[in-house]
Chains A and B, each alone.
Chain A
Amino acid sequence: MILWLLLAAMTAGALALLLMPLLRKGAAAESRAAYDLTVYRDQLAEIERDLERGLLGPEEAVAARTEIERRMLAAADGQGERAKDAKERGGDRAITAAVIAAALPLGAFVLYLNLGSPELPGQPFAERQAERSQAVDDPAVQTRVAELAEHLRQNPEDLEAWLALAESYIALERYDSAANAYRHAILLAQGRPDLFSVYGESLVLANDGQVTGEARTAFGQALAAAPGEPRARYYLALAEAQAGNPRAALQMWVDLAADSPPDAPWLPILDQRIGATAEELGLEAASIAPTPRAVQGPSPEDMAAAEQMSPEDQADMIRSMVERLAARLEAEPDDPDGWLMLARSYQVLGEPEQARRAFDRAAGLAANGPPALKARIQQAGRELGFDLPQ
C-alpha cells in the first residue's frame, strides 16, 4: 500500500512540474535575432578589450569589426521572424495539459504493471540473518562438512569420508569443492571407475550445466568400466546437444529411455528432455524409434568409451587429475594433507622425484605445525620411503 502511495505521489509530482509552465502564461519570447545579436555584441566588446590591451593591432581590429558587423546585419535581416517565433495558441494549452494529465499516469501504471514486481519487498542482506541460518547452507550440512573435513585431515585416506564430503558439497551447491572431493576419492580408489560418473556430473554442475571436455572424459571412463551406465549416457547425449547436434542427442536419449527400467527415477527428466529437444527440432517425440538392438552399431557413447579404454589413456586421465590437484595446491599451498596426497599420486604414476618434491612441501608445512601432523608426515614418509628432512 505504501508503495502505491509513493508511486502515485511520484506521478503527481511529475505532472505538477510538467504542467505548471503550460498553465502559466509565459512571457513573450525574444526573437532569434536578438539572441544572435547578444553574442555578436559580446564579440565586438571583446575586440575593443583586446585592442585596448594591445592584444590586437588597430588594422586587424577594424577588419574583425567589419566582419562581425556584417554578421549582425545578416542576423537583423531575420528580425521579421519575430512574429512567427512568439505565436501563442491559447486554446491548445488546456487541451495539451489535459491529454498529458490523463495519458502519463495511465501509460506509466500500465507499463509498470507489466514490467514491475510490486509484490516483492526489498531484501537487504542485513535483514536476512534468520533466513541465512535456516537455509540448506546451515547448520546441519555445514557442521557435517566441517566434521568431515576435520576427520579427513586426520585420516586423509578414508574413501567413504571423501564420498560423503562430496555429497555434502553437492547439497550445498558447492560443485567445485564437490568435484575436488570426488577427485581425491578417485585417486584413492584406483579401482573404482563407478566414481567417474558422479565426478563428471559434479564437473557439469560446477560449469553451469556445460559438459566440458574433462567431464566428457570422465563419462567415457565410466562407460568403459560399466557399459550402458545411464548417468554417463545421459550427459554424453547432453554434450552432443551442446555441441550443436540435437538430433544425435535426441537419438541417444531415446535409446537410453528404451534401455531404462520403467520405474527408473531419471525417466521423468529424460522424457522432458526428449520432448523439449524433439519440439525444438520440429519432430514428434513418439515418432523417434530407439535404435534396434540387432543393428545397433557402436553408439557414440560406446565410441567415446572405446577411445578411453587403453591403459595409457587411463593413466593420462589420472595424470590430468593429479595436475589439477597440483594446480590447486599452488593456489592454496597451506594444505599438508593435499601435498601428501599429491606425493602418493606421483608415486603411483612412477615419478619419485615429483613425489619427493610434493612430500617436501608437506614436510615444510609440518615443520611449524602440531606434533600430530609431524607424526603423520613421518608415517607417510616411511610408507613412501622418504625421510623427513631435519
Chain B
Amino acid sequence: MIPEIGHYALILALFAALIQGTLPLAGAQRADAAWMALARPAAGIQFIFILTAFLALMHAYVTSDFSVLNVVNNSHSAKPLLYKISGVWGNHEGSMVLWMLILSLFGCAVALFGGNLPPTLRARVLAVQGLIGTGFLLFMLFTSNPFERVFPAPLDGNDLNPLLQDPGLAFHPPFLYLGYVGFSMAFSFAIAALIEGRVDAAWARWVRPWTLVAWCSLTLGIALGSWWAYYELGWGGWWFWDPVENASFMPWLAGTALLHSATVAEKRDALKSWTILLAIITFSLSLIGTFLVRSGVLTSVHTFAQDPTRGLFILGLLIIAIGGSLVLYALRAPAMKAGGLFAPISREGSLVLNNLLLMTAAATVFLGTLYPLVLDAVGGGTVSVGPPYFTATFVPLMVPMIVLMAIAPMLAWKRGDLAGAFTRLRLAAAVVVVIALGTWYLKSEGPVLAVLGLALAGWLFTGTLIEFSGRLKLFRIGMRESLRRAAHLPRATYGMTIAHAGIAIVVAGITASSAWQTEKIQVLRPGETVEVAGYIFTFEGTQELQGPNYTIERGTFQVSRDGAPIARLFPERRFYPVQGRQTTEAAIYTTWFADLYAVIGDADGEDGRVTRLYHNPLVPWIWVGAVVMAMGGAVSLSDRRHRVGAPARRRAAAASARA
C-alpha cells in the first residue's frame, strides 16, 4: 500500500506543479491577485507530496519491498542499511525523485521566506519553478516511474552496483543536486525578471542568497565526488576529466561567474543583462549535466535506442527549457536599461575579466565533453578527448585568473588604482619569489609549471591576506582599533576572503599532487619491501574476511620512515557475489602534507600480489581547500543584507491592523 501512496503523491504533486506553473503566471500578467496567491500554497503542496513519495520509496528500499521494480533492480535484502537508503538515489528513477524533492524544496523555501519579494516577481519565480517541476514530473511518471510494480514479486533483488556502495558516493549526490537544482532558482528569477521586463539592483540582491546556497552545495558535491574517485577507484588520481565529472564542473564555473557578476549588478546596477544570461546558462549547464551526460543519453547510443521515449523526452525538455529561455532573453534583453558606468581598471572591470575567463574555461570544458559524445552519437566515430586537452586549455586560462584574484579585491568600484594595488602586493610578490626559489631548490628537476603553480598559490593566499589586513588597517591603527573594524566588517567580505584563501589551498594541492606524485607498481611477496618517496612499505601478506554482502581480501602493509614505524595500511579488494563484481578499497594514511596510498591487485598465481603504492604530496589540501571555499560561501550567506524584510509600510499596516 505504501508504494501506491507514494505513486499517488507524485501524481498530486504533478497537479500542484501544473497549477503553480500556469495560474500565477497568468495572474501576474493580468494583475489578478487571487491567481498569483495560488503560487505559494501550490509550492508547499508540491513539496509535501514529493517528500511523501520520496519517503515511500525509501520505505520500500529499507524494508526491501521487492514488489517495486526499482527496488528489485537496485537493492538486495543483504545490503547494509546505509546503502539501502543511498540506493534510493543510486539509480535513474530514484535520482529523479531526489532531483524533484530538492527542486520543490527550493520552491517551498521561496514560498515561505520570500515575503520580501514583490508579489508579481514572487508569483512569476514560483511559476517558472512550477513549470520546471511539471516537465520533470511528467518525465518521471511516464518514462521513469520509480513506483512501477512487479507481480509476482521476486524473492530478492539484483543489488546496487558495488562501486556505489560506499559512504562517499552515498552522500555526494544530495549535495551535487542541491547545487544543480539550486541554480534553478537563479534561472527562475532570471526568467521572471525577463517576463517582468525589469532587472535592477534590488533583483540582484534577491537572487543572491539562492545562488550562494547552490554554489556552496555544488562545491561540496564536487569535492566529495572527487574524493570518492580518489579512494575508491584506486588509481591514486582524484580528477579524470570524464564526462560525469565535467558535467558537475561546468555549472560550477558558470555559477562562480554568476555569483561575481551578480555582485556588480547589485552594487553598481551594471552587467544586468549579462547576469541574466549567466543565470540561464548556469542552469542550462546543470540540466545538460544531469540529463544529457549522466543519464547516458549521449554516452551510450544503445540505451537511447532501447528506450527512445526517455531520450526524446529529455531532449524535448532541454530544448523547451534552454531554447525557450534563450529566445525570451533575445526578445527582452535589448530593452534593458544599462546601469552604472565604470572604467576598465576598476572592481567591475576586473570582475568582467573574471567572468570572461571563467566562461571561456566553461566553454572549453563543454567542448571537450560534448564534442566526442555528439560525434559518436551521430555516427562520426570515436574520438577521445583526454586530460592533455584539458590541461592544455584549462591551465592557461586559470593562471591569469589567479593572478587577477589577488589584485581585483583591492581595486575600488568605478575607477581602480592599479599601481596602488601593486604597491600593496609587494609582500605577495616577495612570497612568490621565495616559494619559487624554495621549490626550485627542493625539486630542482621541476617541472616549471609546478613551480609556477605553487608560486601562484602563494601569491593568491598572501594577496588575499594583505587585502583583508588592509580593510582592518592592521599595524596602522593599533590592535584594538583593528579588532573593532574586524567585528564590523560585513560577513560577505569575510566570505570572499575565506573562499579566495580556499582556492589558494586547492591550487597548491592540485599542483603538488599532479607534479610530484610517486607511483610504484610491482609484485610483492609477504615480507618484501618497497621504498616510495622515502617511506618503506613492507608487505605482510593478505587474509580473507567476510563482509555483510561481500568477501574481502585484505592486504597489510607496514610503513616506516628512517626505521620508525609510521602506520599500518589495510588495502582491500571486495567481491560482491550477487552482481559478480569486484571493487578496490585503497588504504590511505595522511600526514596532511601528503597521502600514503596503497592498493592491492591480483595474485600472481603464487603468494605474490600486484601492489600499487603512491605518495601523493599535498593532496588532502584539495579537499580542505574546497571545504574552506564552501565555508566562505556559507559565511557570505549569513550577511545581514540577505535578511532585509518586506516593505516597512506593510509591516506598519499589519501592526495597525492588529491594534
Asked if residues B67 and A21 are in contact (CB atoms below 8 Å), the reply is no
Cα distance A341–B293 when bound, in Å? 47
Pick the contact of B45: A18, A60, A334 (CB < 8 A): A18
Known: A39-B644, A122-B60, A125-B64. A112 touches B8 (CB 8 A): yes
Q: Across the interface, name the chain B residue whose C-beta is closest to A23.
A: B34
Pick the contact of A29: B2, B119, B488, B605 (CB < 8 A): B119
Considering only residues 489-521 of chain B, those with a C-beta below 8 Å from chain A are 489-490
Q: Does B145 contact A (CB under 8 A)?
A: yes
Q: Across the interface, name the chain B residue whose C-beta is closest to A128.
A: B155
Q: Which residues of A contact B64 (CB under 8 A)?
A: 124-126
Listed A/B pairs (24) with beta-carbon separation below 8 Å: A3-B5, A17-B44, A18-B16, A21-B37, A26-B33, A30-B649, A34-B647, A35-B121, A36-B118, A38-B116, A40-B202, A55-B489, A71-B200, A74-B200, A85-B119, A87-B31, A108-B11, A115-B7, A117-B4, A124-B64, A125-B65, A137-B155, A357-B605, A357-B606
Q: Does B646 contact A (CB under 8 A)?
A: yes
Asked if residues B2 and A122 are in contact (CB atoms below 8 Å), the reply is yes
Considering only residues 41-86 of chain A, those with a C-beta below 8 Å from chain B are 41-43, 46, 49, 53-55, 60, 63-64, 67, 71, 74-75, 84-86
The 3 nearest A-B residue pairs measured at CB: A125-B64, A124-B63, A34-B647
Asked if residues B155 and A7 are in contact (CB atoms below 8 Å), the reply is no
Known: A17-B44, A36-B200, A125-B64. A176 touches B646 (CB 8 A): no
In addition to A27-B653, A331-B582, 5 A-B residue pairs with Cβ atoms within 8 Å of each other are: A32-B120, A34-B649, A39-B201, A87-B31, A121-B67
Asked if residues B205 and A89 are in contact (CB atoms below 8 Å), the reply is no
Q: Across the interface, name the chain B residue whose C-beta is closest to A41.
A: B648
Known: A3-B4, A11-B12, A55-B485. A123 touches B118 (CB 8 A): no
Pick the contact of B488: A21, A40, A53, A64 (CB < 8 A): A53
Q: Which residues of A contact B4 (CB under 8 A)?
A: 3, 7, 116-118, 120, 122
Asked if residues B38 and A112 are in contact (CB atoms below 8 Å), the reply is no
Q: Which residues of A contact B189 (CB under 8 A)?
A: none
Asked if residues B149 and A120 are in contact (CB atoms below 8 Å), the reply is yes
Give chain A nearest CB distance to B42 CB in angstroms: 6
Q: Which of A92-100, A253-261, A288-296, A309-317 contacts B (4 or more CB under 8 A)?
A: A92-100
Pick the contact of B646: A2, A30, A117 (CB < 8 A): A30
Q: Does A37 contact B (CB under 8 A)?
A: yes
Q: Does B340 contact A (CB under 8 A)?
A: yes
Considering only residues 96-149 of chain B, those with a C-beta below 8 Å from chain A are 116-121, 141, 145, 147, 149
Q: Which residues of A contact B647 (CB under 8 A)?
A: 30, 34-35, 37-38
Q: Across the interface, name the chain A residue whose C-beta is closest to B484.
A: A53
Q: Does B15 contact A (CB under 8 A)?
A: yes
Known: A21-B38, A92-B34. A35 touches B201 (CB 8 A): no
Q: Across the interface, name the chain B residue whose C-beta is closest to A11.
A: B12
Give chain B nearest CB distance to A280 CB in angstroms: 15
Q: Which residues of A contact B116 (CB under 8 A)?
A: 35, 38
User: Interface residue count for B (Cβ, 8 Å)?
Assistant: 87
Q: Count chain A CB atoms within 10 A of each CB in B118, B120, B641, B654 and give the residue with the most.
A: B118
Cα distance A202–B245 when bound, in Å? 39
Give chain B nearest CB distance to A160 CB in angstroms: 27
Give chain A nearest CB distance to B427 CB in angstroms: 22
Asked if residues B155 and A330 are in contact (CB atoms below 8 Å), the reply is no
Asked if residues A22 and B38 are in contact (CB atoms below 8 Å), the reply is yes
Known: A92-B32, A176-B580. A18 touches B201 (CB 8 A): no
Q: Does B41 contact A (CB under 8 A)?
A: yes
Cα distance A26–B654 when bound, in Å? 12
Q: Does A269 contact B (CB under 8 A)?
A: no
Q: Does A131 contact B (CB under 8 A)?
A: yes
Considering only residues 31-66 of chain B, those with a C-beta below 8 Å from chain A are 31-35, 37-38, 40-42, 44-45, 49, 52, 60, 63-66
Give chain B nearest CB distance to A272 CB in angstroms: 22
Asked if residues A40 and B141 are in contact (CB atoms below 8 Å), the reply is no
Q: Does B475 contact A (CB under 8 A)?
A: no
Q: Which residues of A contact B654 (CB under 8 A)?
A: 27
Q: Across the interface, name the chain B residue whose C-beta is closest to A331.
A: B575
Residues of chain B at the chain A interface (Cβ within 8 Å) = 1-5, 7-9, 11-12, 14-16, 19, 23, 31-35, 37-38, 40-42, 44-45, 49, 52, 60, 63-67, 77, 116-121, 141, 145, 147, 149, 151, 153, 155, 198, 200-202, 205-206, 268-269, 340, 412-414, 471, 473, 484-485, 488-490, 544, 551, 575, 580, 582, 602-603, 605-606, 641, 644-650, 653-654
Cα distance A118–B1 when bound, in Å? 8
Asked if residues A131 and B155 are in contact (CB atoms below 8 Å), the reply is yes
Q: Which residues of A contact B198 (CB under 8 A)?
A: 32
Give chain A nearest CB distance to B280 CB in angstroms: 22
Asked if residues A125 and B63 are in contact (CB atoms below 8 Å), the reply is yes
Known: A38-B646, A100-B19. A135 touches B155 (CB 8 A): yes
Q: Which residues of A contact B551 (CB under 8 A)?
A: 332
Asked if residues B34 and A96 are in contact (CB atoms below 8 Å), the reply is yes
Q: Does A111 contact B (CB under 8 A)?
A: yes
Asked if residues A10 and B9 are in contact (CB atoms below 8 Å), the reply is yes
Asked if residues A3 and B119 are in contact (CB atoms below 8 Å), the reply is no
Asked if residues A49 and B32 are in contact (CB atoms below 8 Å), the reply is no
Known: A123-B153, A126-B63. A10 touches B488 (CB 8 A): no
Known: A10-B8, A112-B8. A38 touches B544 (CB 8 A): no
Q: Which residues of A contact B11 (CB under 8 A)?
A: 108, 111-112, 115-116
Binary interface encoding of chain A residues 1-34 relative to chain B, with 1 for a CB under 8 A from any of its CBs, else 0: 0110011001100100110111000110111101
Q: Which residues of A contact B644 (CB under 8 A)?
A: 38-39, 42
Cα distance A330–B650 when bound, in Å? 76
Cα distance A32–B575 when bound, in Å? 62
Give chain A nearest CB distance to B160 CB in angstroms: 15
Considering only residues 101-116 of chain A, those with a C-beta below 8 Å from chain B are 104, 107-108, 111-112, 115-116
Q: Which residues of A contact B603 (CB under 8 A)?
A: 330, 333
Q: Which residues of B contact A117 (CB under 8 A)?
A: 4, 149, 151
Asked if residues A108 and B45 are in contact (CB atoms below 8 Å), the reply is no
Give chain A nearest CB distance to B464 CB in angstroms: 18
Q: Across the interface, name the chain A residue whose C-beta is closest to B28.
A: A85
Asked if residues A7 and B8 are in contact (CB atoms below 8 Å), the reply is yes
Cα distance A196–B206 when bound, in Å? 71
Asked if residues B37 and A22 are in contact (CB atoms below 8 Å), the reply is yes
Asked if residues A17 and B269 are in contact (CB atoms below 8 Å), the reply is no
Asked if residues A21 and B200 are in contact (CB atoms below 8 Å), the reply is no
Q: Count chain B CB atoms within 10 A of each CB in A37, A54, A74, A125 and give the residue with the most.
A: A125
Pick the contact of A26: B14, B37, B121, B268 (CB < 8 A): B37
Q: Which residues of B contact A11 (CB under 8 A)?
A: 12
Q: Which residues of A contact B77 (CB under 8 A)?
A: 125
Asked if residues B646 and A35 are in contact (CB atoms below 8 Å), the reply is yes
Q: Which residues of B contact A104 (CB under 8 A)?
A: 12, 15, 19
Give chain A nearest CB distance to B105 CB in angstroms: 17
Cα distance A332–B575 when bound, in Å? 9
Cα distance A66–B145 when bound, in Å? 57
Give chain B nearest CB distance to A37 CB in angstroms: 7
Q: Does A132 contact B (CB under 8 A)?
A: yes
Known: A29-B119, A108-B15. A14 touches B200 (CB 8 A): no
Asked if residues B485 and A67 are in contact (CB atoms below 8 Å), the reply is no
Asked if residues B141 and A120 are in contact (CB atoms below 8 Å), the reply is no
Asked if residues A22 and B141 are in contact (CB atoms below 8 Å), the reply is no
Q: Which residues of B contact A112 (CB under 8 A)?
A: 7-8, 11
Asked if residues A60 and B41 are in contact (CB atoms below 8 Å), the reply is no
Q: Across the interface, name the chain B residue whose C-beta is closest to A121.
A: B1
Asked if residues B205 and A124 are in contact (CB atoms below 8 Å), the reply is no
Give chain B nearest CB distance to A50 CB in angstroms: 8
Asked if residues B488 and A55 are in contact (CB atoms below 8 Å), the reply is yes
Cα distance A43–B640 when bound, in Å? 11
Q: Does A88 contact B (CB under 8 A)?
A: yes
Cα distance A327–B596 when bound, in Å? 30
Cα distance A64–B347 when bound, in Å? 14
Asked if residues B120 and A123 are in contact (CB atoms below 8 Å), the reply is no
Asked if residues B12 and A38 are in contact (CB atoms below 8 Å), the reply is no
Pick the contact of A334: B544, B602, B646 (CB < 8 A): B544
